[in-house]
Amino acid sequence: DAGVIQSPRHEVTEMGQEVTLRCKPISGHNSLFWYRQTMMRGLELLIYFNNNVPIDDSGMPEDRFSAKMPNASFSTLKIQPSEPRDSAVYFCASSLEDRGENIQYFGAGTRLSVL
């Protein structure tokens, strides 16, 4: 398996523009997680899907952020409008949720810079 695939790897945009980050989870995994990583706050969970349904979005900073998972093989994280404080590395992770191990496997991340 190719692992979790994120695109783009880097995104530079201007304040006020819409940004869409994409994620393809590992085939067969039923849980998907979006994280944000900054020097100040470390790795923070934004939202978590199970079987394509959002389970916990309490980490989404504000209404400018939205996430969708239209099917088991694709998810998006959208920021509209973007602000400079959104600059961070955004990671997607997937796992096979069951009663045993629930190991999350991470993608390479999208580095977002909002100017």
Using CB under 8 A, list all residues that contact other proteins.
4, 31, 33, 42-45, 48, 50, 55-56, 91, 93, 95, 97, 101-109
Contact (Cβ atoms closer than 8 angstroms) between residue 23 and residue 34 = yes
Instruction: Give, in order, the Cα–Cα distances in Å from 110 to each of 6, 8, 96, 102, 106.
Output: 7, 6, 23, 23, 11
The residue (of 27 and 51) whose beta carbon lies closer to other proteins is 51
> How near is the Cβ of 96 to other proteins at its closest, in Å?
10
Shortest distance, CB of residue 81 to other proteins, whole angstroms? 27
Nearer to other proteins, 76 or 81 (CB): 76
Contact 49, 115 (CB under 8 A): no
Q: How far is the CB of 100 from other proteins (least distance, A)?
A: 9
Which two three-digit tokens encode residue 108?
């390479």
End-to-end CA distance of the chain: 36
Which residue, 5 or 68, is less far from other proteins as judged by CB?
Answer: 5
